[in-house]
Amino acid sequence: MTKRSPRSVSEEGGQDVGEVKIGDQVPLVLMAIMAGPQAALIAESFTGRLRYSGASLGAPLGGGVASALGVVLLQRFHSAVPVALYMIACCALSIIGVGLLRERRNQDLSIEYDEPRTSGQAPAAVVRP
């Protein structure tokens, strides 16, 4: 029985354990860096009803469909270029969407802004001091 070096992941690939750890941890750190500001942006941009509806629809559709479409593109074109173009298009749409959001920093976030007002009600957009 031959002993394997603890630093080698496989004989064929020969990837260093350190490289694998870095390749695993760096994306997790980048995702964590994005998650904080994303949560704050969503909380400030949408009322409670829209926030919860969007999160419940966006997570399975965005995560599941995006991954599956990436696999389909890779299998169909046998290249990572279509997958990269798809990711670039998604990023561009996200940047456009964020650019179109209204600033609600000084508004009361507990009010549902999209509900129609009836006569005699106070205006929905109450500005905090």
Range of the domain at 96: 46-100
Q: Is residue 119 part of a domain?
A: no
Tally the domains of the chain: 1
pLDDT in the model for residue 85: 96
Q: Is residue 55 part of a domain?
A: yes
Q: Is residue 65 part of a domain?
A: yes
125: pLDDT strictly greater than 60 = no
Q: Is residue 79 part of a domain?
A: yes
Handedness of CA 98, 99, 105, 107 (dihedral sign): negative
Q: Is residue 106 part of a domain?
A: no
Tens-digit pLDDT profile for residues 44-101: 777 777 777 776 776 666 677 888 899 999 999 999 999 999 999 988 998 998 899 8
Q: Is residue 56 part of a domain?
A: yes
> 48-55: long-range contacts at Cβ-Cβ below 8 A with a sequence spacing of 24 or more?
48/110, 48/112, 49/112, 49/114, 50/114
Q: Is residue 25 part of a domain?
A: no
Tens-digit pLDDT profile for residues 2-22: 555 555 555 555 567 888 888
Handedness of CA 90, 92, 93, 94 (dihedral sign): positive
Residue 43 makes CB contacts below 8 A (sequence gap 6+) with 51, 109
Q: Is residue 34 part of a domain?
A: no
